[in-house]
Amino acid sequence: MTGVDWLILAVYMLGTLVLGLWLSRRNRSEDDYFVAGRSLSGWLAGASMAATTFSIDTPLYVAGLVGTQGLAGNWQWWGFGLAHVAMAVVFAPLWRRSGVMTDAAFTELRYGGATAAWLRGTKAFLLALPVNCIGIGYAFLAMRKVVEALGLVSNQTVFEFQGKVGSGIVTLGLSDTVLLLAVVAVLVLIYTVAGGLWAVVVTDFVQLVLAMLGALAVAWAAVHAAGGMEAMLTQINDLGRPELLSLVPWRWEGDFSGIWPWKEGGFNWSASAGMGVRWIGGAQISVATFLAYLTVQWWSFRRSDGGGEFIQRMLATRDERQAQLAGWVFLVVNYLLRSWLWVVVALAALVLLPPGGDWELSYPILAVRYLPPVVLGLVVVSLVAAFMSTVSTSVNWGASYLTHDLYQRFVHPKASQRELLLVGQIISVLLLVCGVVVAMLAQSVGDIFRLVIVIGTGSGAVLILRWFWWRINAAAELAAMICGFVVGLSTSGKLDPLLDRLVWIPPLKIDDYGERLMVTTGITAMVWVLVMLMTPPESPDVIERFVRKVQPPGPGWRRWRQRFDVDVVDPLDELIRRFLLSSGVLFGALIGSGAFLLHQSLTGWFGIALAVLCGLPLLKTYGLRSRPG
């Protein structure tokens, strides 16, 4: 990087710091600090959600998937689009009506008694510390890999400290990598601790714009260097790896031209007998794994009804309509606008870089190699912005659990607003430190991503059903959460993603990712159903409080709505219809746009047609008046 590039980076970081400190004036209470006074627009909240997932690790993660598994590997994260559609269409208005501050606090609205309190505390602890710190950690890991690949640092020792311990001398070194990460971390910490969610959300918007422009610049430069899209696709085909350009991990075999009646005067059965589907072994995706991506992962994961930081954004919006808008903004940006920018860079790397390297580093390597000064500086800023967005969200979100759901709920219920703000700021610092420790122990972004999914699998079904069936109780959700965590960890193999020296011999080790998810989900389901049947339902008073507050839909609540004379806002059959149509719109547009980009016209037209056919009736559903359901 040239001096101009460094200047651009310095100006950006200073500007972010000033903006965060200026926005800190808005914080007068815990409500302001953690949910922005519930005054966000859907556009701003949705942009913040998209910026949070546009971390510095995601371009690396996608490049690693495409380089090792081909396009179909992206279904590992595309499959979550179904959960995000449900979030936008079904759960956003329900969350906003609940009026809680965190999803952990929601447990004591939905349930009652000591079990609900235990559930709230356990959930807050697990999400804020192990899960959240792992998330912060792999963002720092990705940042470390990127800054070294960009040549910003070389992991060389710049400071040494010597001290006498006993009879010996101990030397400790501080590398330039750690020093740069520390500087960025301190800046993130200052504006996050001072500004709260307002600072996070507003800077998120700026960071999202920069990140999108940076991704576009790298994609354009990489494709240009590969000789254009047509030449790049030809070179990829010549690699002899059919999985690279296949949207699914299988392909049709046989000659279609010989079977059509108008070709041969009748249907050619002998020709059709040689046709069939062949699984592409190079994709390294088993049948069980691909089925799990589409049919299990999205609803069994702990984010099945939204996910912590997304729920925080929806709770911070002005009303239910803005909460739904936030979900749709996220869907469009996350899946339709930036998916293919990342994929294009990953594909170009297959042509421009030698095989056998770390594909996760493709993005920064191509940026350094093919971008001119100033533009490179802007791309570096975009990557730093993506990193800062994710870390600031994770810190604020995790602090909301530990402050609101643990400290205020169990330690000091009568704490003043000033005290709660101070506690939240102190906890933010501690969370960031924990995340940095995880980053120094980890090695692979993709491994950590898969580990987080596995240990969070199993409880998703309960999280969905609690909105639609009164019989779900706190004991069932607590059992699902703990069982999913334990079984997921017990089937995941040794813990290489966190610490190479820690050898964990799991009693239920399952190598196949899809089978592991299915087993975890199945065992967890048996446990929570059994626990639910063995424990009493929630009391009528608790149920009445929830029904009046949230107005849940579906036949699972019908008799309680009738008993308390509560009307449903959106009938369940209408919500299901919107979910199915919205899923068709999202995946039709995703597949269609990508297929045209990759010169696969037939698939492209199919995707666009699906999006249009689902989009037209979807628009009509929002014009229907609510009816009892």
Q: What is the full DSSP assignment across 527-564?
A: HHHHHHHHSPPPPHHHHHHHHHHH---SGGGHHHHHHH
Residue 305 CA to residue 298 CA, distance in Å, equals 10
On the question of pLDDT at 261 being above 70, the answer is no
Residue 582 CA to residue 598 CA, distance in Å, equals 24
Asked if the structure places residue 170 within a domain, the reply is: yes
On the question of pLDDT at 121 being above 60, the answer is yes
Residue 602 CA to residue 593 CA, distance in Å, equals 12
Residue 144 CA to residue 60 CA, distance in Å, equals 12
> Which positions ≥6 away from 522 have C-beta within 8 Å?
none
pLDDT for 387-397, tens place per residue? Answer: 888 888 888 88
Poorest-confidence range of 316-330, 342-356, 483-497, 514-528? Answer: 483-497
pLDDT for 375-415, tens place per residue? Answer: 988 888 888 888 888 888 888 888 999 999 999 999 999 99
Poorest-confidence range of 185-194, 231-240, 302-311, 446-455? Answer: 446-455
Place of tokens 């940095």: 436
Q: Are 303 and 457 in contact (CB under 8 A)?
A: no
Asked if the structure places residue 271 within a domain, the reply is: no
Of 405, 421, 441, the residue that ends a domain is 441
Residue 88 CA to residue 50 CA, distance in Å, equals 13
The pLDDT value recorded for residue 487 is 84
Q: For the chain, what percent of residues have pLDDT higher than 90?
A: 51
Residue 385 CA to residue 47 CA, distance in Å, equals 14
Sign of torsion, CA 461 466 471 475? positive
The pLDDT value recorded for residue 199 is 86
Q: Could you tell me the two tokens for 331?
A: 């869907």
Of 416, 441, 466, the residue that ends a domain is 441
* Average pLDDT of the segment spanning 441-469: 73
Helices (H) and strands (E) in the chain, counts: 30, 4
Poorest-confidence range of 176-180, 405-409, 491-495? Answer: 491-495
Angle at 446 between CA 440 and CA 450, to 5 degrees: 105
**What is residue 40's three-state secondary structure?**
strand
End-to-end CA distance of the chain: 61
Q: Are 450 and 495 in contact (CB under 8 A)?
A: no
* Residues 429 and 577 reside in one and the same domain: no
**Does pTM surpass 0.85?**
yes
* Average pLDDT of the segment spanning 228-255: 89
On the question of pLDDT at 277 being above 60, the answer is yes
pLDDT for 77-94, tens place per residue? Answer: 999 999 999 999 999 999
pLDDT level of residue 449 (50, 70, 90 thresholds): low
Poorest-confidence range of 176-180, 522-526, 543-547? Answer: 176-180
The pLDDT value recorded for residue 276 is 64
Of 391, 415, 441, the residue that ends a domain is 441
Poorest-confidence range of 56-60, 345-349, 461-465? Answer: 56-60
Maximum average pLDDT range among 298-302, 358-362, 443-447 = 298-302
The pLDDT value recorded for residue 39 is 94
Asked if the structure places residue 160 within a domain, the reply is: yes
Poorest-confidence range of 322-336, 412-426, 487-501, 573-587? Answer: 487-501
On the question of pLDDT at 250 being above 80, the answer is yes
Residue 613 CA to residue 5 CA, distance in Å, equals 47
Poorest-confidence range of 282-296, 304-318, 361-375, 426-440? Answer: 426-440
pLDDT level of residue 441 (50, 70, 90 thresholds): low
Residue 155 CA to residue 443 CA, distance in Å, equals 15
* Mean pLDDT for the chain overall: 86
* Average pLDDT of the segment spanning 163-176: 66
The pLDDT value recorded for residue 19 is 84
* 3-state SS, one letter per residue, for 273-329: HCCEEEECHHHCCCHHHHHHHHHCHHHHECCCCCCHHHHHHHHCECCHHHHHHHHHH
* Average pLDDT of the segment spanning 96-101: 96
CB atoms within 10 A of CB 389: 31
* Average pLDDT of the segment spanning 304-308: 87
On the question of pLDDT at 224 being above 50, the answer is yes
On the question of pLDDT at 10 being above 50, the answer is yes
On the question of pLDDT at 134 being above 60, the answer is yes
Q: Counting beta carbons within 10 angstroms of the beta carbon of residue 368, is it exposed (0 to 12), middle (13 to 18) or buried (19 or more)?
A: middle
Q: Could you tell me the two tokens for 80?
A: 């979550």
Asked if the structure places residue 629 within a domain, the reply is: yes
The pLDDT value recorded for residue 268 is 46
For 70: left if phi > 0, alpha if psi spans -120 to 50, otherwise beta; the answer is left
Asked if the structure places residue 612 within a domain, the reply is: yes
Q: Could you tell me the two tokens for 6?
A: 């460094």
Asked if the structure places residue 522 within a domain, the reply is: no
- The enclosing domain of 160 has a CATH number of 1.20.1730.10
Q: Could you tell me the two tokens for 220?
A: 């354009």
Poorest-confidence range of 44-53, 95-104, 440-449, 597-606? Answer: 440-449
C-alpha dihedral (397, 401, 407, 413), degrees to nearest 10: 110
Q: Are 329 and 42 in contact (CB under 8 A)?
A: yes
Provide the H-helix boundaries in 127-172.
132-149
The pLDDT value recorded for residue 165 is 58
pLDDT level of residue 119 (50, 70, 90 thresholds): very high
In the 8-state DSSP scheme, what is residue 457?
Answer: B
For the chain, the maximum distance between any two Cα atoms, rounded to a whole number of angstroms, is 95
Q: Could you tell me the two tokens for 75?
A: 């279904």
Asked if the structure places residue 255 within a domain, the reply is: no
Residue 333 CA to residue 267 CA, distance in Å, equals 46
The pLDDT value recorded for residue 267 is 42
pLDDT for 554-595, tens place per residue? Answer: 999 999 999 999 999 999 999 999 999 999 999 999 999 999
Exposure string of 22-60, with b = 16+ CB inside 10 Å and e = fewer, is ebbebbeebbbbbbbbbebebebbbbbbbbbbbbbbbbb
**Alpha carbon 520 to chain centroid distance?**
20
CB atoms within 10 A of CB 276: 10
Task: Give me the domain span that covers residue 594.
Answer: 570-629
The pLDDT value recorded for residue 102 is 93
- How do beta strands 168-175 and 157-165 pair? antiparallel
Count of domains in the chain?
Answer: 2
Residue 574 CA to residue 618 CA, distance in Å, equals 10
The pLDDT value recorded for residue 256 is 47
